[in-house]
Amino acid sequence: MNNIKFIDFCAGIGGGRIGLENLGLSCLGFFEIDKDAEITYKYFFGQDEQNYGDLMKINPDDLPNFDFMVGGFPCQTFSIIGTRCGLDDETRGQVIYGLVKILKAKNVKYFILENVKGLISHDKGRTLETVLELLDNAGYKVYYETLNSLNFGVPQMRERIYLVGIQKELIDDSFKYEFPKKYTGENHSLEDCLIDNDELIFDEKLPSYQTFLKYLDNKYNKGKYSINEIVSKEYTVIDTRQSDLRIYHEKTPTLRRGRHGILYVKNGKFKKLSGYEALLLQNFPKRYANKVKDKISNSKLLQQSGNAMTSTVIEEIAKNLMKAIGKIDD
């Protein structure tokens, strides 16, 4: 499928790109306005990679012709933890209009777009209806579904809505796209992902540990947990939310740009989740994660991983699309 060309929109650090390249599709460049994310992206894929910058400012005529758009368009305005102003947001919410403009101008055949689950309920469903109407009017048959990364080879709970589109003129009334229901690839456990040997031990030597003890004693958590109880089981994952503590086994909560308070138990001690480990929880292969270890700060990698797409989810969605249009055999 090297003849299918794609451009990576709102690329972040390239989770979507990895998914498509795993199927043999070829990337012609990317769009990303976050300079820190761009640095990480180029560590992964090469310093000569073309960043087209701000998609809202690009003249589509300046882009090469391409077949496939992949993009995780900004989700903060639709998220339950974001502002939820949606399409009224003057910057992030309007990006969908820029994407549709490029789809039409470049006659793009297929797309996969990702957003937070909150898009479905935002403004009582009217925001999603508007997005679907925009894409329909642009000439695309669109399918959407909420998928959880936990079902695609990684031990991370991450529900996202995925929109798959194909030009109507390429299909007939009998065409049907089905989202992947079962993942048959390699499944990674917490033990596979939580392997960073850097000394991110979280113990009484750190001032923040004393804050953690006070947190355990607040009105939400008082009397519920003890340190000895928590550390008694290896790979227990602890999410120190603003109020109540949440504990997970065999999985982590959703990685988010602003959530850096995830701890876990290893060798009977608390450790902080590292940026390297966060990449593995998004199914970035180790060969990519190793390129940025000790080059990109831990806090930045945590942020960027929280914004990234899970590569295997995109790969499986695209694989089903390629099967549906006859580009690959079952």
Dump pLDDT digits (tens) for 3-29.
899 999 999 999 999 999 999 999 999
Backbone angles phi, psi at 25, to 5 degrees: -75, 155
Per-residue pLDDT tens for 93-104? 478 889 999 999
Decide the pairing of beta strands 269-272 and 262-266. Answer: antiparallel
- Would you report the helix, strand and coil content of the chain in percent, each value rounded to 5? 35, 20, 45
Taking alpha carbons only, the member of 159, 63, 175 closest to residue 120 is 159
Instruction: Answer whether residue 260 is part of any domain.
Output: yes
50 vs 31: CA distance, rounded Å: 8
What mean pLDDT do residues 220-240 have? 91
- Write the burial class of residue 165 (CB in 10 Å: 0-12 exposed, 13-18 middle, 19+ buried): buried
The reported pLDDT for the residue numbered 80 is 39
Q: Does the annotation mark 75 as catalytic?
A: yes
Per-residue pLDDT tens for 298-322? 999 999 999 999 999 999 999 999 9
Do residues 155 and 35 share a domain? yes
What mean pLDDT do residues 262-281 have? 93
Instruction: Answer whether residue 330 is part of any domain.
Output: no
Per-residue pLDDT tens for 201-220? 888 888 888 888 888 888 88
Instruction: Give me the amino acid identity at 162.
Output: Y
Do residues 93 and 177 share a domain? yes
The reported pLDDT for the residue numbered 250 is 96
- Residue with the bigger pLDDT between 226 and 292: it is 292
The reported pLDDT for the residue numbered 89 is 46
Do residues 151 and 88 share a domain? yes
The reported pLDDT for the residue numbered 242 is 73
Which candidate in 10, 27, 75, 193 is catalytic? 75
Per-residue pLDDT tens for 45-76? 999 999 999 999 999 999 999 999 999 877 44
- Judged by average pLDDT, the poorest of 34-38, 258-262, 266-270 is 258-262
The reported pLDDT for the residue numbered 30 is 98
Mean pLDDT score of the chain, rounded to an integer?
90
Instruction: Answer whether residue 119 is part of any domain.
Output: yes
Per-residue pLDDT tens for 118-143? 888 877 888 898 899 999 999 999 99
The reported pLDDT for the residue numbered 83 is 43
Do residues 106 and 45 share a domain? yes
CA angle at 191 for the pair 189 and 193, rounded to the nearest 5°: 75
Number of domains in the chain: 2
CA angle at 114 for the pair 111 and 116, rounded to the nearest 5°: 160
Instruction: Answer whether residue 329 is part of any domain.
Output: no
Do residues 196 and 231 share a domain? yes
| Residues 6 or more apart in contact with residue 301 via CB below 8 angstroms | 40, 274, 275, 276, 278, 279, 292
Q: List the beta bridge partners of residue 165.
A: 111, 142
Give the CATH number of the domain where residue 124 resides.
Answer: 3.40.50.150
Do residues 84 and 137 share a domain? yes
| Residues 6 or more apart in contact with residue 324 via CB below 8 angstroms | 166, 175, 176, 177, 178
Per-residue pLDDT tens for 138-193? 999 999 999 999 999 999 999 999 999 999 999 998 999 999 998 989 999 999 99
Distance set, CA 298 to CA 181, 277, 303 (Å): 34, 10, 9
Do residues 141 and 46 share a domain? yes
pLDDT at 77 over 50: no
| Residues 6 or more apart in contact with residue 162 via CB below 8 angstroms | 112, 113, 114, 144, 145, 146, 147, 179, 313, 317
Confidence band for 92, pLDDT divided at 50, 70 and 90: very low
The reported pLDDT for the residue numbered 298 is 92
Instruction: Answer whether residue 287 is part of any domain.
Output: yes
Instruction: Answer whether residue 314 is part of any domain.
Output: yes
Taking alpha carbons only, the member of 169, 152, 78 closest to residue 317 is 152
pLDDT at 243 over 80: no
Domain span at residue 55 reads 5-188+309-324
